[in-house]
Amino acid sequence: MVGTGELLDVLLAGGLRADRVTHVERLPARPGEQVDWPAWADTDLVAGYRSLGVTRPWRHQVEAADAAWSGRHTVLATSTGSGKSLAFWLPSLTAVRADVAAAALDPGRIETVGRRGSVLYLCPTKALAADQLVSVEKLLTAGHARDVRVATCDGDTGFDERRWVQQYGDVVLTNPDFLHFALLPNHRRWARLLGSLRYVVVDECHAYRGVFGAHVAEVLRRLQRLAASYQSGSAGGVTAPGGLAGGTSRGPVGATTASGGRAPRRGPVFLLASATTSDPAASAARLLGVSPDDVTAVTADTSPAGRKTFVLWQPPEIPGERAALLDDEDPWAVPLPLPPVDRDALDDATGSPGTGDSAGFDPSVAVGGSAGLVGAAGVDGFAGLDASAGVGRPAGLGVMAPLEPTEGSGPLGTGERIVADEPDRPRRSATAEVADLLADLTAAGARTLAFTRSRRAAESVATVTQSHLREIDDSLAGTVAAYRGGYLPEERRALEAAIRDGRLRALATTNALELGVDITGLDAVLIAGWPGTRVSLWQQAGRAGRAGSEGLVALVAREDPLDTYLVHHPEAIFDTPVEATVFDPTNPYVLAPHLCAAAAELPLRTEDLPLFGPGTRELLDVLVERGALRRRPSGWYWTHADPASRLTDLRGTGGYPVRVIETTTGRVLGTVDAAAADSTVHPGAVYVHQGATYVVDELRLDDDVAFVGRRDVDYGTWARWLTSTEITSVTSELQWGPVTWGFGTVDVTTQVMNYQRKHIPDFQVIGTEELELPARTLATTAVWWTAPESVLEAAGVTAELAPGALHAAEHASIGLLPLLATCDRWDLGGLSTELHTDTGQATVFVHDAYPGGAGFAERGFALGATWLRATRDAIAGCRCANGCPACVQSPKCGNSNHPLEKAAAVRLLDAVLAHAPHG
């Protein structure tokens, strides 16, 4: 293990790179607090844990396990590497083994067959389920407890294996998607599991936010309803084996216990594991549909933590001849004019400023939209759009909540700590900088993860790092690899095993490794660009120095005002609470299809309605009126031939992944999300896989296949697209004098138009090729307001300022709507333009990023004046001078937060609100 002080010196290159450090935060070590194993814990499991090195558990593990064992829904929200898995496996496996023992002691009684309890484990990704399967099997083997049958079951599981799991699985590891599409609609095949379900483990529950979180909340309500029905013997006339869950078991929901006295209950106990979030009990209760008083929250982390050194880092300015090259997310963005740099003083520990080093190249420029194609106004939220199936999805996994005001004195104030870059002095990209740092850390013997914002960037960092290391020692290059979504499962498992056992020293990865895949013993984490949320930041940072050892973390800023602001304002990172997990299960656009799915599973009864929340009865009446359901004296019924579960897609992924196949061999290299296929595997595109380059020969969208050929090329390809928003119908309209407020349906259309081939490493354009790809249209709902010339003139917003003022107002309004509409910023998209074809005026749109809408834009329209005043006050009340993440910068801006005019936005909003109705 390399010491943190030595690693920091490696980053600083003996002082030569010290001028790139904007702040060093020392996070103190934390001692661990161990307690005895609980008396109820299965002795074989305890022996297994001890043989694996866990002599005694941490206090928070036992507190959570005790609460779950006593029959309380429990959420454990502690840091990465704090051992959350022990807290949910100890009570759940103990319950299963108690039932196994009971059956073995009295095999002649048929009731004992039904009492063998089961456990359902849910997590957001297949990778995490596979990792947990390995961990559980290792524990059971170590404890000689192989009488518990554990298996994963998801969309990749074959029919024969799935049938075995249905009949025999004690612990089933899967994901919410499989529950929604397969298990719940076919619940009679899963009667044994549902009828004996003791625990449902919901891992990484902070990932369930926004519309996705609302969908998962409804899936969990449907699961509870079916489990309770089977456990009371009333599941559509099907009697579940064993009656009430547990019978006379020693488990958490049994009728009697060793201490004698728990009343029976229907349905499983939920045990949720989360990263550190704001108010986890409330979030868990909302996810389950229960009162927060019914959830025990354990938040005090008693695991040991070594001292962590957290470095904020800004890459150096690049030479003038490369001034046209901006950061990797949007190479054609127009820089925003900002004040000269005024850097903070360096932390004493960083040493004296050095001379810096030469700028390298970054072949990882990710796909971006041309500012020239899109126009001067900003377009947000379309990076994940796939209208081929009429489906849009959020462009990322996180949400950047507004930060607290921290400096300056208003939009026209002095701004005591303004930090920004001059437009003619761009900085080196974060991915190129991280590749250098990763190479140096690897050469020094450190084990490191480098997180990037895109799959392409992960490949780039790995490839460039390997190139640097070959100059030192050719054998070192083989100790670095890329890890990202789209790799085949067996390839990802092999990489995970290699980084665990030390065959690999470093992985350049997307946020695919942010979740709880067990990788311990890492010395350092590099983060190439703000990951979008503080929850994600601390999840990624938590990978360094796990198991109580010291760790080093470096956040390297992208060439983006948001990143620049954050690395120069450490209080926005270290002194600001993590975000709450925001979602709304009562959203009728989400709830309606799940009520149909629930009715298809078992007819809905009046007594079921409280489980689905307020407004359910009224929504059922609407569904009956529209012919989706039929009302009978005994309840509400689904009477259509098509499966009701197909009415909604939990993640809005926009169709099946596109398989990338090598033409000559037929080998599947990996997959690309349907939403990204047009821009990443179009004909002629360069596809990179573990450093090897392929060129796309053909993209067959109808077959979800891209055929590629292996070729060594010295260029990369960058797609460019056009985005437009068309009003298709106006549902409601209000006049505020000259200002028009509208709500209705819109078509948000994107089309990849062409791509450029750029020579690497100098990025000279060597060709532009036109593409003939279909336009992708998302039919959704939007709210919009107009600002005619008279309003712009009254606000003193000139033609030069208008694009930036409208763009800033759009960003801020998107950031504020979640406070009023119970959504996530990533559930929304927007557009602002000086002159819109349909309105004939300057217009700001905010739309739902889901097909058909999700109710958020409609809520914004209903609260128009309240929403706009909150937006205006948030911008004006922020103490920065030219805009920051707390007001007008967005973590998902398609134009890299350019142009933005904060002061002009305030004046514009004042002029619009001057016409707002009173009251």
Fold (CATH) for 4-26+306-345+357-376+404-574: Rossmann fold (3.40.50)
Band of residue 465 on the pLDDT scale cut at 50, 70, 90: very high
- Map 769-804 to HEC letters: EECCCCCEEEEEEEEEEEECHHHHHHCCCCCCCHHH
Percent of the chain with pLDDT over 90: 56
Is the pLDDT at 546 greater than 70? The verdict is: no
Contact indicator for 388, 655 with CB cutoff of 8 Å: yes
Token pair for 839: 């309105």
Residue 38 CB burial class (10 angstroms; 0-12, 13-18, ≥19): middle
Give the least confident one: 360-364, 795-799, 809-813, 875-879. Answer: 360-364
Q: CA-to-CA distance for 137 and 503, rounded, in angstroms?
A: 23
Residue 901's pLDDT is what? 95
Q: Which residue has the tokens 């354009």?
A: 765
> Average of pLDDT values for 158-179?
95
Residues facing residue 659 across a β-bridge: 671, 705
pLDDT average, residue stretch 607-617: 93
pTM of the model: 0.79
Report pLDDT for 258: 33
Q: What is the pLDDT of residue 547?
A: 61
Name residue 241's amino acid. P
Q: What is the DSSP letter of 548?
A: T
Place of tokens 């899936």: 219
pLDDT grade for 1, boundaries at 50, 70 and 90: low
Dihedrals phi, psi of 272, to nearest 5 degrees: -110, 140
- Give pLDDT tens digits for 703-752: 999 999 999 999 989 888 888 899 999 999 999 999 999 999 999 998 99
Instruction: Give the pLDDT confidence score for residue 833 in this predicted structure.
Output: 93
DSSP 549-578: --EEEEEEPPSSHHHHHHHT-THHHHSSPP
Unique residue bearing structure tokens 């599981």: 157
Residue 868 vs residue 576, higher pLDDT: 868
Mean pLDDT of the chain, nearest integer: 82
Q: What is the structure's pLDDT at 893?
A: 79
CB neighbour list of residue 122: distance below 8 Å, 6 or more residues apart: 174, 175, 176, 179, 200, 201, 202, 203
Q: How far apart are CA 852 and CA 433, in angstroms?
A: 42
Q: Where are the domains of the chain?
A: 4-26+306-345+357-376+404-574, 43-298, 658-913
Q: The domain 43-298: what is its CATH number? A: 3.40.50.300
* Contact assessment for residue 856 and residue 827, using Cβ atoms and an 8 Å cutoff: yes
Q: Which comes out higher in pLDDT, residue 73 or 361? A: 73
Higher pLDDT, 788 or 763: 788
pLDDT for residue 911 = 97
d(CA 250, CA 256): 7
CA–CA gap between residue 712 and residue 758 (Å, rounded):
14
